């Protein structure tokens, strides 16, 4: 089969892992080419997301050593999702199939062949799904589970235990290119594309070198982005909450008036102050959530580029 496969690997300060990653990925590419499952024009495309270390120099050196490696350099750090999109959109110009995976080899490279096989049996999108989270910390496990459950509750269709390890055909990528949103949450967008899709399970390993580029603050921001980019239910919940509180206060008013005229007035300072604070808090919270959505509208209307490529190194032919 002559399908050209591109592996897209976003890299941010990954000098500690790149040599090992490139070795393992080129071995997989060689094996797949030998087995006749992909064309020899297939490539491993590293996307340098404005790294401050030697990541880009290493990518250039790898490309010189072996043309199977190519690189896309972003003009500055734009975050994982934007870097991934830059890679996918560049790769789709040359490839029939694209698989995205992390630079730290947490995504088991043996699943690549399974994904390619699934593609050959007719699937346009293949999601890599973790079989277990044994190697994750308790905190990551608990927050991940809570996040998936919450997203489901809000009616957002995301694949459980799937991160950004997935295969997409050129047809699916062409559709992805039509999604113009600036607040990127690819895990939520891809299921909207539709097409025949399936999953492949793999065991997610520990990052083998270097540090995670997703500290808790970034993780929380990402989860919040995911929720507010895909569901307007929080806004509706605020409306319902507001209505409920309004009803309660109406009933309370009636009760107070009755109490006043029957002579049972109780001077409750604590309850008064407590309710002022509570209502003030709820109002601030609601304003904040509404503000989040307005902020999103603001950044979407500006239509700024989601990534800027400063350089591409790529030999298309063998």
Q: Which residues bind ligand UDP (CB under 6 A)?
A: 10-12, 14, 49, 77, 79-80, 83, 102-104, 106, 207, 212-214
CB of 205 closer than 8 Å to CB of 135: yes
Q: Which residue has the tokens 């895909």?
A: 230
Pick what 80 binds: Mg ion, ligand UDP, none; C-beta below 5 to 8 Å, kind-dependent: ligand UDP
Measured from the CB atom, the residue of 161 and 169 that comes closer to Mg ion is 161
Residue 287 host element (H or E) = helix 269-302
Residue 223 in tokens = 């989860």
> Whose Cβ is closer to Mg ion: residue 3's or residue 102's?
102
- The residue (of 39 and 183) whose beta carbon lies closer to ligand UDP is 183
Select the binding partner of residue 79 from Mg ion, ligand UDP, none (C-beta < 5 to 8 A, by kind): ligand UDP
Minimum distance of Mg ion from residue 214's CB (angstroms):
7
Please give the DSSP secondary-structure letter assigned to residue 127.
E
For residues 204 to 223, the per-residue mask of contacts with Mg ion, x marking binding by CB under 5 A and - elsewhere, is ---x----------------
Q: Which residue has the tokens 């520990």?
A: 206
Q: What are the DSSP E strand ranges found in 33-104?
A: 43-48, 69-74, 97-100
DSSP state of 311: E
Which partner, ligand UDP, Mg ion, none, binds residue 133 by CB below 5 to 8 Å per kind? none
Q: What x/- string results for residues 23 through 62 when contact with Mg ion is judged by CB under 5 A?
A: ----------------------------------------
Between 141 and 198, name the residue whose CB sits nearer to ligand UDP.
141
d(CA 56, CA 304): 25
Taking the C-alpha atoms of residue 85 and residue 305, their distance in angstroms, rounded to an integer, is 12
Is residue 46 within 8 A of residue 103, CB to CB? The reply is yes
Q: Does 104 bind Mg ion (CB under 5 A)?
A: yes
Which residues are at the interface with Mg ion (CB under 5 A)? 102, 104, 106, 207
């Amino acid at each position: 089969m002559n399908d050209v496969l591109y592996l897209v690997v976003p890299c941010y300060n990954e000098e500690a892992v790149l040599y090992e990653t490139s070795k393992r990925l080129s071995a997989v590419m060689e094996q797949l080419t030998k087995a006749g499952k992909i064309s020899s024009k297939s490539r491993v495309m590293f996307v340098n997301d404005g790294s401050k270390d030697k990541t880009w120099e290493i990518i250039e050196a790898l490309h010189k050593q072996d043309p199977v490696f190519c690189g896309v350099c972003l003009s500055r750090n734009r975050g994982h999702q934007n870097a991934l999109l830059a890679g996918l959109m560049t790769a789709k110009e040359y490839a029939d199939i694209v698989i995205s995976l992390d630079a730290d080899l947490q995504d088991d490279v043996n699943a690549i062949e399974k994904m390619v096989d699934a593609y050959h049996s007719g699937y346009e999108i293949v999601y890599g799904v973790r079989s277990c989270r044994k190697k994750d910390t308790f905190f990551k496990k608990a927050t991940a589970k809570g996040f998936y459950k919450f997203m489901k509750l809000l009616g957002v269709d995301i694949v459980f235990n799937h991160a950004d390890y997935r295969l997409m055909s050129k047809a699916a990528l062409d559709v992805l290119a039509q999604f113009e949103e600036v607040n990127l949450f690819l895990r939520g967008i891809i299921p909207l594309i539709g097409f025949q899709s399936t999953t492949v399970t793999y065991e997610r390993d520990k990052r083998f070198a270097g540090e995670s580029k997703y500290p808790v603050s970034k993780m929380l921001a990402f989860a919040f982005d995911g929720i507010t980019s895909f569901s307007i239910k929080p806004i509706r919940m605020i409306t319902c909450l507001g209505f409920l509180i309004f009803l309660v206060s109406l009933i309370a008013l009636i009760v107070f008036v009755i109490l006043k005229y029957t002579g049972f007035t109780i001077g409750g300072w604590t309850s008064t102050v407590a309710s002022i604070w509570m209502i003030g808090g709820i109002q601030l919270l609601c304003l904040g959530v509404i503000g989040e959505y307005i902020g999103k509208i603001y950044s979407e209307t500006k239509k700024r580029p989601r990534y800027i490529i400063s350089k591409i190194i790529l030999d298309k032919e063998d």
